[in-house]
Amino acid sequence: MTANPSSGGRHPVLFVGAGPGDPELITVKGQRALVEADLVVYTGSLVPDALLRWTRPTARTVSSAALHLDEVIELLASAHGEGSRVVRLHTGDPSLYGAIGEQMAELRRRAIPYAVVPGVTAAFAAAAALGIEFTLPEISQTLILTRMAGRTPVPEAERLEALAAHRASMAIYLSVDQADAMAETLGRAYGPDAPCAVVVRASQPEEKIIRTRLSELAACVRAEGVTRQAVVVVGRVLDTDGGETRSKLYDKDFTHGYRR
């Protein structure tokens, strides 16, 4: 959505993906939005302060960590009503576990225009840190992004056990505090000796990588004191150097529209 006559020509509220934490992994469009913003309401519990370096000294920055939905919307709506450029800064990509749906619904109810700037999600920063490809030919062509049920439930059909049955590459968010149950569930599908990895604060200075097997996952997590801001990766792509199979894309004997 963009500015329209009913908004009086005011700038739309921008939901911006901050990326996984490295301030240089925000998109160019996201960086520009921060540079131009008059108000930035950011997810203070997850977005590193380093991302705010892209804002102007005169910009107002507010952490939403202690705010409830109505307070967040009031901040966005009030600033928008004053003609300010408003950015709602979310960690990673806003479409994943960002709770932006309810915020956008409230803005629509108030006839406030908005737009979304995507960002790099933690799973992709984790893959970069691990040096892996999630979709290796003949190994895995599917990547599942999910979380375990906690205080926020998941649909019955999306229980970890059901998803693990596919044995696809998987990145599990917001669940490292349930490592025991996770390892037991995944172990039944992938096998207890299946490789897995925990990437903590991917792309940030405090980044930590734990490579292990499912049978040792819970013990390793406890030993390292990891309780949050971690992505757990599991799948056969962790157990290969990537050269066992070749794609058709670069096969010299495979023709396509650009190569005969």
Q: Where are the domains of the chain?
A: 5-117, 122-239
What's the whole-model pTM score? 0.89
Tell which CATH classification among 3.40.1010.10, 3.40.50.1370, 3.10.20.30, 3.40.50.1240 matches the domain 5-117.
3.40.1010.10
Strand partners of residue 117: 16
- φ and ψ at 211, to 5 degrees? -100, 130
Binned average pLDDT, 10 residues per bin, the chain of 260 residues: 49 97 98 98 94 97 97 98 97 95 98 98 98 94 96 94 98 97 98 98 97 98 96 95 60 59
Look up the CATH superfamily of 122-239: Tetrapyrrole methylase, C-terminal domain (3.30.950.10)
CB 202 within 8 A of CB 125: yes
Angle at which helices 69-81 and 100-109 pack, to 10 degrees? 50
The pLDDT of residue 130? 98
Question: What pLDDT, on the 0 to 100 scale, is given for residue 241?
Answer: 72
How far apart (Å, rounded) are the C-alpha atoms in residues 211 and 202?
14
Handedness of CA 121, 25, 86, 43 (dihedral sign): positive
On the question of a common fold for 5-117 and 122-239, the answer reads: no
